[in-house]
Structure 1
Amino acid sequence: MAEVVSALIVFVLLLAGTGVGVLVRPMLPEEHKAHETVQLIQLVIGMLVTFAALVLGLMTASAKASFDTASNDFRAYAADLIQLNVRLRDYGPDTDRARTLLRAYTAAAIASTWPQEPLPPGNDYPKDISQGGNPEQLESVTLGDMLDMIEREIRGLSSHDAFNQRLADDSLAQFLALRQARWKLIEEAHSSISQPFFKTLTFWLFVIFLSFGLIAPRNALAMVTITLGALSIASAVYVIVDLDTPFTGPIVISSQPMRDALMHLNR
């Protein structure tokens, strides 16, 4: 909902700025409506529009890059799960307990990260993992405890020969890399937009639309054009905020890599 609220606030403020400009214009003395004054206002508007356009473009590119990074990291995380399962499977039947926990963890992670999507098949994993009321919070005590149990199982492996010892060491190294990747994903789930910076941009846009209200002709076509402009900017803000929160809103990271990993773990 953060993306909807942000876009709605920007849209309302831009229309309010235009309304203030339209209301103030008749109260201005005639010398403030002179051609030279209007030209000066247009120059200042042009400068602010350039700054705002640059900032919006940079924010869009940054949000898209963050979204793509988180998406690629999730694919790598799914690959790490598969590789860990392969090493445990090669070790032998002593790792059956660890592999069962790994499958349960993967299914539970899918269910908690994408609660709006169909649950993975099976009943051998917790389905009611709470995110503390924060959809951006990927960290879960339950999932962390499951990983701790997997780690204890791996560390408790008793090697029968040098080959199994190497597999046990490789499994532990792979697991530690998996845990590190998990914390990276948890941090990437949070929004990275600076609120003071976002408020400053909103103020610039408010001033721009206030200026539009001061110089725009008072007819329906001008008002409709300004409204469409405000709607377009609000939609851009919506996309930026949505991309910056990769696990909430309509634009979310695909769960397919994790579901593919779960299929491999079930083999």
Structure 2
Amino acid sequence: MLVAAFTALVSAGVLAGGAAGLFLHLLLPERHLTKETRDVVHLATGMLSVLAALVLGLLIATARDSLSSADRSVRDFSAILIQAEQGLRVYGPEAAPARDVLRHYTHAAFSQRWTRDDRDILDAASPTGTTLEQLRLAVLSLQPASDVQRWLREQILTQNDRLLSLRWQMLEQQDLPFQPVFVVLLTCWLFFIFTGFGFMAPRNAAVCVAFGVCAVAVGGAMFLILEMETPFTGIIQVSRQPLAIALAHMER
């Protein structure tokens, strides 16, 4: 809902700016429509266009970093799941209950969506959110009979701590990380930019179509940015393929 609202706001700002420029051209007297006036408007519009491009580039870079960071977190999470399962397998039959807990968590993480209503599989309040704590207790209950088992037990506990840390990190990455003021500021600049375009443009259907195409294009760009900023919800999400690989490794 928030992504759609911001996308509509940006598109509306572009259309409103173009319409305001065309309407302003009709209202102003002829002495305000001289070549010198158009040159000043052109320079001001160019300056605002550069500023808007810088802000848009900043938003794109931030969104890309957010998506890449979330993807790395999921891949690291899956790799540690595999390492923990391998350690439990090497430990011996005594670790079978802990392996079952780990397999259950991995299956739940892969089978469910990242979010389902208000119950997130990464949330500590959800059933799957407590599974890693159950894994810790299962590993702590192991009684090592050799130095190798003792070392494996410590390694698995360390990996469990890392899994807990990554889970909370992914949970925090679900929130919209940037301030809405950037979108509002960009919308204002786009409004004034297209007001300048409309002021200098002839009043015909081709210009109106061009403004409409620009509104859709800019709105689409903002939609993609906001989708990348929320990597666990919406249309653009991080891949769950690493979890599928981890689950396949555990079930073979």
TM-score > 0.5 by shorter chain: yes
**Count of aligned residue pairs for this structure pair:** 251
Query: In the TM superposition, what whole-angstrom CA distance separates every residue of 1:19-72 from its partner, at most 9, and x where no partner exists?
Result: 222223211122211111111111000000011112112211221122112112
Matches within 5 A, 1:22-33: 22-33=22-33
- SS of 1:254 mapped into structure 2: coil
Counterpart-to-counterpart distance in 1, 2:24 and 2:70: 47
Aligned counterpart, 1:230: 215
Q: CA deviation at 1:155?
A: 1.0
Aligned counterpart, 1:246: 231
Residue 118 of structure 2 is aligned with which of 132, 135, 143?
Answer: 132
Structure 2 residue identity aligned to 1:181: L
Q: CA deviation at 1:172?
A: 0.7
Q: Answer yes or no: is 1:90 the counterpart of 2:90.
A: yes
Q: CA deviation at 1:140?
A: 4.3
Q: Answer yes or no: is 1:218 the counterpart of 2:190.
A: no
Aligned counterpart, 1:20: 20
Q: CA deviation at 1:256?
A: 0.7
Structure 2 residue identity aligned to 1:90: V
Residue 194 of structure 2 is aligned with which of 209, 212, 221?
Answer: 209
Q: Answer yes or no: is 1:263 the counterpart of 2:248.
A: yes
Query: In the TM superposition, what whole-angstrom CA distance separates every residue of 1:85-119 from its partner, at most 9, and x where no partner exists?
Result: 1111111111111111111111112233347xxxx
* 8 Å Cα contact 2:14-2:214 kept in structure 1: no
Aligned counterpart, 1:175: 160
Aligned counterpart, 1:146: 131
Aligned counterpart, 1:118: none
Query: In the TM superposition, what whole-angstrom CA distance separates every residue of 1:168-205 from its partner, at most 9, and x where no partner exists?
Result: 11111111111111111212222212111221111111
Q: Structure 1 vs Structure 2: percent identity of aligned residues?
A: 35
Structure 1 residue identity aligned to 2:228: L
Aligned counterpart, 1:120: none
* 8 Å Cα contact 2:6-2:183 kept in structure 1: no
Q: Which stretch of the first structure deviates more once superposed, 253-262 or 214-223? A: 214-223
Counterpart-to-counterpart distance in 1, 2:63 and 2:166: 20
Gaps spanning 5+ residues in structure 2: where? none
Which consecutive segments of 4 or more residues in structure 1 shift more than 4 A?
A: none
